[in-house]
């Protein structure tokens, strides 16, 4: 760039001034002439591919997490099912053990310990509610002859048959237990003297008329003759021992009177 004036001296000064201005404005002019670098054409495709790869990895990880969670839920459900089955088996076993501990193994009736516990409870109820209570002692007559004549297997069958007769002939809230050997004990809550005596007579007739076979044949000669004696104690007792003692005394009197009969004592 050159600036020219008319005078010689002025021409030189103007030329120097022009160089100075060019020196100062040169870099700015050069910067305006430099253009920005252009983005390669394949760059968008690369960015898209990277984004798709990231999304694919994220989707794969989410799927793995869902599968893992589903497997965990299934494992928990399977374990809960196994625990429920084990708990059911345990409850079943406990029920069986409780049954064996409370019931007579042959007849299925309440055993000696439990029937006396029930008697104590019912006597307490009788005193609390001021209601009568009756007990019936049942003893099979000449049961030793049954074992000696027909064998102990037939004797066991007789005990089971008599237990069934007693159980199905009482009320739902009465108690029937095997007192020991061929003796049975019945507890009749709220039953007075006359009601207990009537029930004992019905039981006596049912046992006497029972057709219990010895297992050898079905003819009349194979029927095992069975009778029972009954002792009753009824009233408002002070304690269970009093009921048992009086019923036992009545039972001995029934034996002395020829067996197969009912003797009742009122408190």
Q: Render 157-189 in DSSP notation, one character per residue.
A: HHHHHHHHHHHHTS-TT-EEEEEETTEEEEEEE
How many Å apart are CA 111 and CA 178, to the nearest integer? Answer: 5
Beta bridge partners of 133: 189, 235
Residue 208: active-site member = no
Task: Please tell me which residue in 91, 182, 242, 266 is annotated as part of the active site.
Answer: 182
Burial of 242 (0-12, 13-18, 19+ CB in 10 A): middle
Phi, psi of 265 (to 5 degrees): -130, 135
CB-CB contact of 25 with 17 (8 Å): no
> Can you tell me whether residue 133 is helix, strand or coil?
strand
Q: Report in angstroms the alpha-carbon separations of 131 from 189, 190, 191, 264, 265.
A: 8, 6, 8, 18, 17
Tokens of 15: 């030329």
Q: Is 255 exposed, middle or buried (0-12, 13-18, 19+ CB in 10 A)?
A: middle
CB-based contact 231:254 (threshold 8 Å): yes
Catalogue the active-site residues: 182
């Amino acid at each position: 760039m050159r600036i020219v004036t008319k005078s010689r001296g002025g021409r030189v000064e103007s030329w120097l001034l022009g160089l100075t201005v060019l020196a100062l404005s040169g870099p700015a002019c050069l910067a305006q002439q430099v253009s920005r670098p252009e983005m390669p054409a394949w760059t968008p495709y690369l960015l898209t591919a990277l984004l798709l790869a990231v999304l694919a990895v994220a989707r794969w990880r989410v799927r793995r997490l869902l599968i893992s969670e589903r497997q965990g839920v299934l494992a928990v459900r399977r374990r809960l099912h196994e625990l429920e089955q084990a708990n059911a088996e345990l409850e079943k076993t406990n029920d069986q053990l409780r049954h064996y501990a409370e019931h007579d193994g042959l007849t299925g009736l309440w055993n000696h310990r439990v029937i006396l516990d029930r008697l104590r409870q019912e006597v307490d109820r009788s005193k609390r509610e001021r209601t009568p209570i009756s007990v019936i002692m049942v003893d099979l007559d000449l049961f030793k002859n049954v074992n000696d004549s027909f064998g102990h297997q037939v004797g066991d069958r007789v005990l089971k048959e008599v237990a069934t007769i007693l159980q199905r002939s009482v009320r739902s809230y009465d108690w029937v237990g095997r007192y020991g050997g061929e003796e049975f004990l019945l507890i009749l809550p709220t039953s007075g003297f006359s009601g207990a005596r009537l029930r004992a007579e019905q039981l006596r007739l049912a046992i006497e008329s029972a057709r219990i076979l010895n297992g050898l044949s079905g003819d009349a000669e194979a029927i095992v003759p069975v009778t029972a004696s009954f002792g009753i104690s009824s009233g408002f007792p002070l304690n269970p021992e009093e009921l048992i003692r009086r019923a036992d005394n009545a039972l001995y009197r029934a034996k002395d009177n020829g067996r197969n009969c009912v003797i009742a004592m009122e408190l």
